C-alpha cells in the first residue's frame, strides 16, 4: 500500500475538513469502540465516492463504506486504507405525492419524520431503527412486522465499474437481512419508496407506540450495535441466550444486556476485543446447550479471520478491492 500516493490523491478530492487521518472509529460506530481509520473521508456525492475508491485501488489500499455505523464492530487495531462515510452530506429527502426519494445518508428517523409531516404512512416501523436508508436497503431492515422491501420501489447504486444504475425492487432479491446489493458489493446512493396517504395523528400515534415499545424492551440507553444476532430459523436469539444462562455475562465493559438478551452492550469503555469475546462466549454456550449456531447480525471489520473460534462468524473486507458495507440495519 502506497500511503503517500493515497494521501496526495485524497487531498485533491476532499477539503481538509472532510479528510481525517488516524480517525478513531469509536466516534463513528454506535458501539463506541474501535481503533483508528488510516484515512476517513466524508462523501458529498457519487463522484466523491468513485474518486475515493479509485484512489484507494491505485494505491493498492483497502476501502470501506460506512453510514451511521450501527451493526458494526471495528477491531481495536483499526482499519487500513480509506473509510468512506455516506452521511449527512448525502442525506437529502424529497417527496412527490406518495413517493419518497431519500439519499443513502438520510437516517431512518429523518425519513419517518418527513413522511409524517407529509401525512404518509408505511415507514413508521423504521422510525426507531438506528442507521441510514443505505443500510436499510442493504440489510432489508425490519422491525414490528415491517421491512424495507415492503415500501421500496427501487434503489440507485454505484457498481464496481463506476456506473450508477437503478435497481427495481423485483431485482433486489430482498430477504431476511439480505439483498442482492450486499451480495454484489454495490454502494447504495438513493432509495425510492412508495408510501400511502394516511392520517397524521394516527401515524404519529403509531410511531410513539413503537418508540415506547422499543424503549421498554431494548437497552437504548446504552451503546450497542442493535440486535447482535440474527434470528435463527425456528428460534428467538434472545430466548436462547436467556435459557443458556448467558444474560448478564460480561467481559470488561462489554455485557449481554440484562434488559434484552439479544443485545451486547458497551456499559462504559469496552474494547472491541471485549465485545467480540462476549459474542464468542454466547455463541459457544448456545451451540453447546441447544445445538444452534447464532450468526451475528453485527458486521465485523479488521479482525483476523484465521483467529476464528467455534461458532464465530466474522464478516470483513475480503480483499483490497472488495466493498464492505456497514450502514445499518
**Long-range Cβ contact pairs of 255-258 (< 8 A, separation 24 or more):** 256/282, 257/219, 257/222, 257/224
Annotate 88-136 with DSSP letters as a single string. Answer: GGG--EEEETTEEEEETTSBHHHHHHHHHHTTEES-GGGTT--SBHHHH
* Sheet containing strand 63-66, strands side by side: 19-24, 36-42, 79-85, 63-66, 325-326
Distances (CA, A) of 42 to 20, 87, 132, 166: 9, 7, 15, 23
> How far is it, in rounded angstroms, from Cα 105 to Cα 68?
8
> How far is it, in rounded angstroms, from Cα 121 to Cα 105?
21
Query: Among this protein's residues, is 280 annotated catalytic?
Result: no
Distances (CA, A) of 70 to 31, 73, 171, 194: 7, 8, 26, 25
Q: Is 101 exposed, middle or buried (0-12, 13-18, 19+ CB in 10 A)?
A: middle
Three cell numbers written together for 114: 418527513
Q: What phi, psi does 164 have (nearest 5°)?
A: -110, 125
Marked catalytic residue, from 156, 227, 244, 271: 227
User: Is the dihedral angle over the CA atoms 203, 156, 83, 52 positive or is it negative?
Assistant: negative
> How far is it, in rounded angstroms, from Cα 172 to Cα 152?
10
Query: Among this protein's residues, is 297 annotated catalytic?
Result: yes
Marked catalytic residue, from 124, 147, 190, 297: 297
Query: Among this protein's residues, is 124 annotated catalytic?
Result: no
Marked catalytic residue, from 42, 177, 299, 329: 177
Q: Which residues are catalytic?
A: 177, 227, 297
Amino acid at each position: 500500500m502506497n500511503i503517500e500516493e493515497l494521501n496526495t490523491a485524497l487531498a485533491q478530492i476532499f477539503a481538509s475538513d472532510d479528510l481525517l487521518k488516524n480517525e478513531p472509529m469509536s466516534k463513528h460506530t454506535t458501539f463506541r469502540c474501535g481503533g483508528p481509520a488510516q484515512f476517513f473521508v466524508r462523501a458529498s456525492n457519487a463522484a466523491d465516492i468513485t474518486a475515493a475508491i479509485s484512489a484507494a485501488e491505485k494505491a493498492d489500499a483497502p476501502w470501506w463504506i460506512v453510514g451511521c455505523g450501527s451493526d458494526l464492530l471495528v477491531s481495536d487495531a483499526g482499519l487500513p486504507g480509506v473509510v468512506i462515510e455516506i452521511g449527512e452530506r448525502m442525506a437529502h429527502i424529497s417527496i412527490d405525492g406518495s413517493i419518497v426519494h431519500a439519499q443513502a445518508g438520510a437516517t431512518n428517523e429523518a425519513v419517518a419524520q418527513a413522511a409524517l409531516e407529509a401525512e404518509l404512512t408505511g415507514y413508521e416501523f423504521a422510525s426507531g431503527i438506528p442507521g441510514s436508508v443505505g443500510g436499510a436497503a442493504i440489510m432489508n431492515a425490519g422491525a414490528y412486522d415491517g421491512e424495507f422491501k415492503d415500501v421500496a420501489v427501487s434503489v440507485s447504486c454505484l457498481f464496481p465499474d463506476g456506473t450508477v444504475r437503478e435497481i427495481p425492487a423485483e431485482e433486489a432479491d430482498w430477504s431476511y437481512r439480505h439483498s442482492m446489493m450486499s451480495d454484489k458489493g454495490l454502494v447504495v446512493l438513493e432509495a425510492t419508496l412508495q408510501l400511502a396517504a394516511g392520517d397524521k395523528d394516527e401515524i404519529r400515534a403509531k410511531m410513539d407506540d413503537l418508540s415506547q415499545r422499543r424503549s421498554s424492551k431494548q437497552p437504548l440507553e446504552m451503546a450497542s450495535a442493535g440486535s447482535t444476532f440474527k434470528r435463527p430459523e425456528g428460534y428467538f436469539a434472545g430466548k436462547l441466550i436467556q435459557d443458556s444462562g448467558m444474560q448478564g455475562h460480561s467481559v470488561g465493559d462489554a455485557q449481554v444486556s440484562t434488559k434484552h438478551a439479544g443485545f451486547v452492550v458497551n456499559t462504559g469503555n469496552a474494547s472491541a476485543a471485549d465485545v467480540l469475546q462476549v459474542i464468542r462466549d454466547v455463541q459457544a454456550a448456545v451451540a453447546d446447550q441447544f445445538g444452534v449456531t447464532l450468526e451475528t447480525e453485527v458486521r465485523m471489520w479488521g479482525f483476523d479471520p484465521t483467529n476464528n473460534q467455534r461458532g464465530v462468524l466474522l464478516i470483513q473486507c475480503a480483499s483490497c478491492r472488495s466493498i464492505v458495507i456497514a450502514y445499518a440495519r
